[in-house]
Structure 1
């Protein structure tokens, strides 16, 4: 999936999911997002030495971890040299049941996975913890003004908390909603191996079609989820620009600075 001769949307990280570049997207003012500046991904807990070396050579300067304290404790990121680690939970609750409890919970109601994902996306544009986390992320982005230095931001699978973070960054940089939506949906293909992994893992507790369907909905992405967040933003703030200013707290000057840092003619 190459955008240019030496630039790739999908990064060559072997022991991790959904490592992707945000470079190359055009903006409404005729500029383009720089490569080697913005990386979105899943967790860094399984990285091999080669993966760590690859990301270090790629220029990762900041690792912003959007997971909860419990998630970080259970699967800590492998640290990268020369990289500042920033714990930055979007939510600090949930993910506290055993796999067996989750298997039981999601084996009864076929709509539960989708319903919970929609609620989660709505919470990410209304909850105080999410507001604080997105502001912290943008504060880090505003500090990343050196050449060949990247901000990597991630959650567990790099699709939901990371997906909306990427969307808000791209909106702030002036990328079209269609391109933002398409970038978000890349996770659908990227997460197929992970969905199968979870189905295999949960099979030991007894697998039925309801559980399988819920796992697919929980561990993938869907336009319904993205739209749930966008519709809530429109309901609460009128439009995305108001949301960026009022919820995340970005000033016009900060948006101009972000564009100066991350865009090229």
Structure 2
């Protein structure tokens, strides 16, 4: 059994072929010996790709909320088709630029800068923008999740790797998951997204008349250890703790943080404790 499969079994996750970057956010150890609660917070790529064969598994999650981090242009023709009427969807968009570009505009920009575009730097800048310039959105997400009181929730963006990855990392760190465990979980998006990454590379290479190599495209389509590590280093250098960052930078109420942490942490200890 590979590592991804083992993680899914440990967290009681049934694989869904049409939601390739899906997993439970919980199940990870916490520094005090407890574990992060499972069955209440999930992450994935955009669920409009859900197919009928996975519908029973998806509905079996009993989701009460879907928190969609995509922009309006990303969502326009890509809304979930099979969501239960009892599931509320809330859109809290995180933007890569000051404008909400369409896919055509993005591809046009890539084509016009194909010789010089640096996806590695673009992604590093994007991570900084999310954590340090999108603090209103982060406050909105944290407040929304706290209001759920532990009701099953799905967080997603487009690929479920960057925006979702950063929000999930903040939640796991808030719960007390060690940073190395958070990083390992974050990096799981690469093997889970592998087939979609290969497909996107083929498409973009053809679109640019093969002027972009696989090596140049990968920083855009994969998560990288340094993307998250760099912004977390800066966050802890400035604020000391996740709690201080959420209060001082994002304006999250301290009571909201307490409620959210309580909903994320199980009273049970790890089996070996």
TM range (shorter): 0.7 to 0.9
Equivalent in the alignment of 1:207: 210
Task: Tell me, yes or no, if the aligned pair for 1:62 and 1:84 is still in contact at 8 Å.
Answer: yes
1:165 to 149, 154, 167: 167
Identify the residue that residue 55 of structure 1 maps to in structure 2. 58
Cα displacement (A) at 1:56? 1.6
Other-structure match for 1:126: 132
The equivalent position to 2:122 in structure 1, one of 91, 116, 120, is 116
Matched-pair contact (CA < 8 Å) for 1:67–1:88 = yes
How many residues in Structure 1 have an aligned counterpart in Structure 2?
Answer: 258
Partner SS state of residue 114, structure 1: helix
Q: Give the TM-score normalised by structure 1.
A: 0.87
1:78 positional shift:
2.8
Asked whether 1:104 is paired with 2:106, we answer: no
Bigger Cα displacement from structure 2, 73-82 vs 174-183: 73-82
Question: Equivalent residue for 2:191?
Answer: 189
Cα 1:23–1:238, aligned 2, differ >3 Å: closer, same or farther? Answer: closer
Shift of 1:261: 1.8
- Equivalence for 1:16: 19
Q: Secondary structure at the match of 1:89?
A: coil
Displacement after TM superposition at 1:217 (Å) = 0.9
Quick check: 2:143–2:256 contact (8 Å CA) kept in 1?
A: no
What RMSD over aligned residues (CA atoms) do the two structures have, in Å? 2.3
Which residue does the alignment assign to 2:270?
Answer: none
Distance in 2 of aligned mates of 1:3 and 1:200:
29
Q: Tell me the equivalent position of 1:39.
A: 42
Q: Which runs of 5+ in 1 are unaligned?
A: none
Closer, same or farther in 2 for the Cα pair 1:249/1:201, shift >3 Å? Answer: same
Judged with a 3 Å threshold, the aligned counterparts in structure 2 of structure 1 residues 260 and 238 are, in CA distance, closer, same or farther, namely closer
Deviation track 1:218-256 (CA, whole Å, cap 9, x = no partner) reads: 010001111231133235434433212212333443333
Secondary structure of the structure 2 residue equivalent to 1:40: strand
Q: Distance in 2 between matches of 1:37 and 1:195?
A: 28
Q: Any unmatched runs of 5+ in structure 2?
A: 268-273
Confirm or deny: 8 A CA contact 2:139 2:246 kept in the other structure: no
How far apart are 1:144 and its partner, in Å?
2.3
CA contact (8 A) 2:72 2:100 kept: no
What is the alpha-carbon distance in structure 2 between the residues aligned to residue 262 and residue 151 of structure 1? 12
Q: Deviations along 1:51-73, whole A, 9 cap, x unmatched?
A: 33322211211100000011011
Match of residue 262, structure 1, among 253, 261, 264: 264
Q: Counterpart of 1:136?
A: 140
More deviation in 90-99 or 227-236?
90-99
CA drift of 1:28 comes to 1.9
Q: Is the contact between residue 35 and residue 266 of structure 2 (CA under 8 Å) also seen in structure 1?
A: yes
